[in-house]
Structure 1
């Protein structure tokens, strides 16, 4: 196994790191203190990223995350869009998670479109900034309990329901909405629809005030007789009871490694800063010494670095499997569970290691600790990820193991 960053992605990763350091970090605190204010600086940055990705089969953003047939063009083992997207996200979130989530055309809905759209839809929604709306007031971790309905009416579907905690829901050009075609058929009837901003019947009803990622807007959206073109349904319109929920759930195989990559990025930022602060305080960081012969602070940081590295490798593995069209549902959940937990532990522990300095607003450590919590929650909580892994390992269905 070759565990280094592939040569063809090093330039993209380095550019993403430079953007994070010189562009995101300087405005990080500004938008943390100005919740719901749109970071206008990101418009120029989005254009820069579009230029970086132009003509490249392997982009650095969510739009490149796909397992669609034809996505891989190389024979044999491929390092492709999913891996490059994760590497880019890691570097950008080393700068700021909230700003990455607020970046135009890099929404989780873009990864859903990349995963499920047909060629015509990919072309039509190219350049669209897409959010993703799954969670409902009565439906959190159990996505199969979705109550928002989509009823066929000629060349349209009529959507009715409410979605909450929609990242970039107020700013995005479109929202990928999960809705059921028939409540009586359970999870098999759930499909995803691209609802473009300004569609009559779609209304942003509230913006959430949050613990972290304040640069990113999080919205509640209601759908009242919202007419969506049938051509905006992603994937197969037929209800396949045998396949069940699998078609729509393929979205998570792409998005969960991306969320894990976000966690890897913010955890690395905390580790780097804690390392610098402890070194100034006199820690030598001689990795050749056994743990019992170094200070507690050094030993703690060594352990956190090991946890971080394991989460990073699991994330890259899940992305690599997607690039090679291998079933990666279990690996995506393992990566998301590990990285989310590690990010929470690392960022909080780094605050602790830095003492009073880490708790104050003169340092970004306290902000990273707040930002990291959501990465263990959205796109499936820690507990749900462990449940999915258990089902895969034991060969149980969702009805058999709840």
Structure 2
């Protein structure tokens, strides 16, 4: 695995950094204060982002498919998953909330790209799709969802309630997780694309949050909401032996995406802290004797080492997805490490800078607030550690809870 940015992705990375610096940073504080206000400045970026996606393998916005087994002569591939994490690292260096609010770049788009068939990609690939998994009585245990989807002729009838739906108000469609038969447990859980305006789908409240305030987070209810049978993503068959594995494949793609967001905001905090400390006369002497290093320097060096580990784990998980390798363990490792590291770095930088870091004169306090969600959504820290333990020990979810 070559750790340099692939040459074909360098223009995308440079473009993402320019967007982060010239568009996101100047309006970051504005939309942090104006929660639920739509950032109209982002509309002009939609076409640019679509163009960035069109430069990939045509799998739509967000991460791409986990490929089938490759032939021996196919060689190494850097594709949609890698381009997504590289671009998001840069965008979230600018602002996490605004990155989540970019049209047609939702986590639901990554779910569609991961498991949709060709016909579904044509219908939904250009739509802005949110992801609806969490329920009032179901937090980190995605297998315990109570929303149902009952087959009725050529349609499914969906009933239930979803909370904490990122971009739930603004998106064109929502990828909804629901059970075909709750008596069969997690094996019956499937995902459905429900387009905005479908009768029976109703937007509830918008949440007020600690961070990522530029991004809307909605509650959505489904009351006898009918969707065409062809809106089911993946196989409609209930495979008890396969269990939850089919729908959980979505997370193998979206967890590295969230890890990349964490890597981006952590880098923003490190860069700004270095800049402010150097203005105060501190010089960083990496080759020097560690015994003569100040406590502030030593802490920043540890943060940088943790950041580099998180970045490399993220790249590895995305690279494996692009190259047809099962990456469930690696995706959870990247998400766990990056989420925890972003929290530690952003809060640590606030602490190191004292009043400069704590006040709204700097974005550091905002980054500290924004980073917390990255350790929570797409599976909490504890859930990631549980998944990693299962993969290492060869245990099923029933054997290791």
Q: TM-score, normalised by structure 1?
A: 0.97
Q: Deviations over 1:323-354 (max 9, x none)?
A: 00100000000000000000000000000111
Contact 1:58 1:64 in 2 (8 A): no
Find the residue that maps to 1:11 and give its secondary structure.
helix
Distance 1:387 1:52 in 2: 35
Instruction: Name the counterpart of 2:40.
Output: 40
- Matched ranges for 1:109-188 at <5 A: 109-188=108-187
Displacement of 1:39 in angstroms is 0.5
1:57 partnered with 2:54: no
Instruction: Name the counterpart of 1:335.
Output: 334
Q: Deviations over 1:256-297 (max 9, x none)?
A: 000000000000000000000111112111110133212111
Q: 1:329 to 1:341 in 2, by over 3 A?
A: same
Runs of 4 or more off by more than 4 Å in structure 1?
A: 68-72
Distance 2:173 2:183 in 1: 28
Find the residue that maps to 1:204 and give its secondary structure.
strand
Instruction: Name the counterpart of 1:212.
Output: 211
Q: Deviations over 1:355-374 (max 9, x none)?
A: 10100001000000000000
Q: CA RMSD in A?
A: 1.6
Displacement of 1:186 in angstroms is 0.3
Distance 1:389 1:52 in 2: 33
Q: 1:320 to 1:58 in 2, by over 3 A?
A: farther
Instruction: Name the counterpart of 1:19.
Output: 19
Instruction: Name the counterpart of 1:97.
Output: 96
Distance 1:293 1:242 in 2: 59
Distance 1:203 1:379 in 2: 23
Distance 1:183 1:361 in 2: 48
Instruction: Name the counterpart of 1:363.
Output: 362
Contact 1:68 1:115 in 2 (8 A): no
Distance 2:310 2:210 in 1: 24
Displacement of 1:65 in angstroms is 2.3
Displacement of 1:58 in angstroms is 7.3
Distance 1:276 1:224 in 2: 53
Find the residue that maps to 1:205 and give its secondary structure.
strand
Instruction: Name the counterpart of 1:275.
Output: 274
Displacement of 1:70 in angstroms is 9.7
Q: Deviations over 1:2-27 (max 9, x none)?
A: 21111111111011001100010000
Find the residue that maps to 1:63 and give its secondary structure.
coil
Find the residue that maps to 1:224 and give its secondary structure.
strand
Instruction: Name the counterpart of 1:265.
Output: 264
Q: 1:84 to 1:392 in 2, by over 3 A?
A: same
Distance 1:310 1:58 in 2: 30
Q: Deviations over 1:76-116 (max 9, x none)?
A: 11111101100000000000000000111000000000001
Query: Where do 5+ consecutive residues of structure 1 fail to align?
Result: none
Q: 1:254 to 1:331 in 2, by over 3 A?
A: same
- Matched ranges for 1:171-320 at <5 A: 171-320=170-319
Distance 1:66 1:254 in 2: 8
1:78 partnered with 2:84: no
Distance 2:70 2:50 in 1: 19
Distance 2:56 2:373 in 1: 31
